[in-house]
Amino acid sequence: MIYHIFAVLWKQLKDTLKNKAILIQFVMFPGLTIVMEKAVEIPGMQEHFFANLFAVMYVGMAPLTAMSTIIAEEKEKNTLRVLQMCNVNAFEYLVGNAIYILAICMLGSSVIGLAGGYRGKELLVFMLIMLVGHIISTLAGGAIGVWSSNQMTATSMTVPLMLVFSFLPMLSFFNENIAKVAKFFYSGQLYSMVNSLSAFEVRTETVLILCGNLLVIAICFALAYQKAFEKR
């Protein structure tokens, strides 16, 4: 099992280096954070503003898009059938992809955190918050990828979710009504948490919303998995 998961990890690493669309998802926001944190200084701007903003957008875009695209593409090209013929089952394949995407996204998140000036305990808490977000987004991307029969279907489902998860927290900064809606999404809670790292505390409301989001997405994933694989 471990060998098969490692084989999937190695395969995805090589494929990502050839797939510019996926590669851009992984490096775009870390790169933007480095540039904006160094180049832009606005009087009165909130500390870590760009790092916090791009971190949450990174959570809402990179793992979601990467996971759904990779799975849908390989289903469309029948790569999954080839892997199954090599005794790699669906669970091993999905776990391998998830671990790979989480590892790359956590590496990108560390770049964002360091570029934003986080150090020590604050950096550790920042990374834990990012891990929670990446896990939920990866699971959501997995649900879409498993459910979709091709890349076009996956894209049509991924883009609306990506826009909601990524841009609602940013828009909530400018509009109180949007903020009231955004707080019910995990990305909105993550944005609130990274903006209060200096006085960080785990609130009951935050835990309930994150667990609720995770539960809904996990149920969607389970239904998609059952539909796609258990009937085979």
Please give the residue range of the domain that contains residue 224: 2-230
Cα–Cα–Cα angle for 34, 56, 20, nearest 5°?
65
Which of the four pLDDT bands, split at 50, 70 and 90, describes residue 2? confident
The count of structural domains within the chain is 1
pLDDT at 230: 61
pTM greater than 0.75 (yes/no): yes
**106/22: higher pLDDT:** 106
C-alpha distance from residue 1 to each of 88, 96, 140, 230 (Å): 8, 10, 24, 19
User: What value does the mean pLDDT take over residues 216-230?
Assistant: 89
Compute the mean pLDDT over every residue in the chain, rounded to the nearest whole number: 92
pLDDT at 231: 52
DSSP 81-113: HHHHHTT--HHHHHHHHHHHHHHHHHHHHHHHH
- Give the tens place of pLDDT for each residue, 71-82: 998 888 887 777
